[in-house]
Every structure is written in structure tokens, then in C-alpha cells.
Structure 1
Amino acid sequence: MASTPKTFSKVFNRFDVNGDGKISPAELVEAMQTIGQQLSIKDAEAVVESVDSDGDGMLSMEEFKKLMEEGEDAGEERELREAFEMYEMEGEGCITAKSLKRMLSRLGSSRNVEECTAMIRQFDLNGDGVLSFEEFKAMMMA
């Protein structure tokens, strides 16, 4: 779920303790502590450095927004990976018609192998008859 500009602004202002329009690594550490997360000053500096486009060692609103969006993207990727692994089940790194049938059956949606093959074919971009994680991700984003 994407955050709105208003949400970013609200969160940014809460993190910007001294109100200078920037979030320092120390402010980031403090903000994380208020939400029950531990972050060392060294880790906070590394986080800031990862998106600090102007090199001032602090987060502007735009840099903060970029950091938050990257975090959301990483969370979505992790959730998709977990879902993929549930369907994959055979340890082959792909979703086969058989593994799709098995998972759909567990979810209460009975399908035969031919139907599952047809479902896979719709998103099988390279034509190998199975879904890779990238193909699964494309299917879930459609």
C-alpha cells in the first residue's frame, strides 16, 4: 500500500525533531526508538548515506520519501517471495502446474492439471511451461 504525500510529510515532520527541514542520523535513531526499533548511529548514518543525493549527511523531504518508497518496495517484494514459495512447493524454484493445483486445492479452489497449465501459460513469458519468480511477480502486479 503506497503512502500519500500528506503521510510522508507528517512522518517526516515527526522525525525532524529540531524542525530544520532535514533529518539527521541522530534524529533517525531517536525516531526509531519512539516506535520501538533499535538503530545504531552507525546504521542510521549508513541509511542516510544510501539516499543522500546532495551529500549533506542528512535526509531532505525528497530523500526521506525515496527511502520510505524503497522500504515499501522491499516489503512488497518479500511478501511476493513468500507467496511464491507457498505455490512453488517442489523446491525447483518455479511454479509448476502440479504445484499450482496442489496449492489451489489447499485454498479450496479445485482445478485440474490442464486448467493449471492454462493459467500458467497466460504469464509464462519465456514459454518453459512453469512460472519463475519474475513471471509470478508480473502476474501478481497485473
Structure 2
Amino acid sequence: MARFFNKNNCVAGPHEEARRRREVRRYFDRADNNKDGKLTKEEWFRVLNSSGVPTTMEEVEEFFETMDRDFDGRLSFEEFMGEESTIEKLFKSMDKNGDGVVTKEEFNSICKNLSSDQVKMAFQKFDKTGDDKLDYREFCQMINKKQEEQGE
């Protein structure tokens, strides 16, 4: 969870931390013009500059490179706060042995509603290294593509 500090540079208490989180969330939601729950580079650029924080698009792109942990080009509130994203949690739950990759077997153990042919096709499409495993980036590309197809 993101840590907030009070004016004395001490870690804020839980109530103050919750209040600040709500306040940041309000600003985040206000910046999210299309209300999709994620900030685009353009939305972040616009809100910074309109708030009196002169920022270049290059600076925004650098910020996104650091914070966009699911590689979809947008920032969820969790990413914005430096917290674990939904995709990271899903990946960790599928990576049963914690080796940093998801095998077909691990994938099948979680996604019981998919046929082995569907899993095989997904791995053929997104396993760029051809090792029958999805690393985190490949996994994100697969999830992002699926969400894109569903219009999310």
C-alpha cells in the first residue's frame, strides 16, 4: 500500500492515510475524463498542466514507463498509487511455484472453463519465446488483448 507522510515527515496514521487516499482518488477520478477507471497519458498531461504544474509529454511518458505495470499504456488507480495491480495479483495466483512464469499446467489449474485447445492457442499467440511458458509481460499482453476484444 502507498505510504503517506504527514507534515512532520512521519508515516501518517491509518485515518489520515485513508483520508489522503480518498483525496488522491477524487483527483484521479476527476482526471479520468472518459471514466474508464484508468488514466491515459493525455489525461495525465492535461490535468498536470491545467493544475499549474508545467509538464512535458516526455515527462509524462517517463512516468508511465515507470508506473504502467500491466503494459496497457494506461494507469489504474492501483498503478498510480504504486500498488500491486489486478493483473499482478492474477499472475501471482496462477504462478503456483513462484518461478516468474505461468505454464500451461498452471494456467489450466486456474482457468478450468477453458479447453486445452483454447489454452494451446493462447500460448501459441502470446508465448513469444516459444518455451511453453508465459512470462509476466507475455501474460499482460494476453490479458490486455482479451480486455481490448471485450471492449473494456
Normalising by structure 1, we get a TM-score of: 0.46
**Radius of gyration: which is bigger?**
1
More helix per residue: 1
More strand per residue: 2
Normalising by structure 2, we get a TM-score of: 0.43
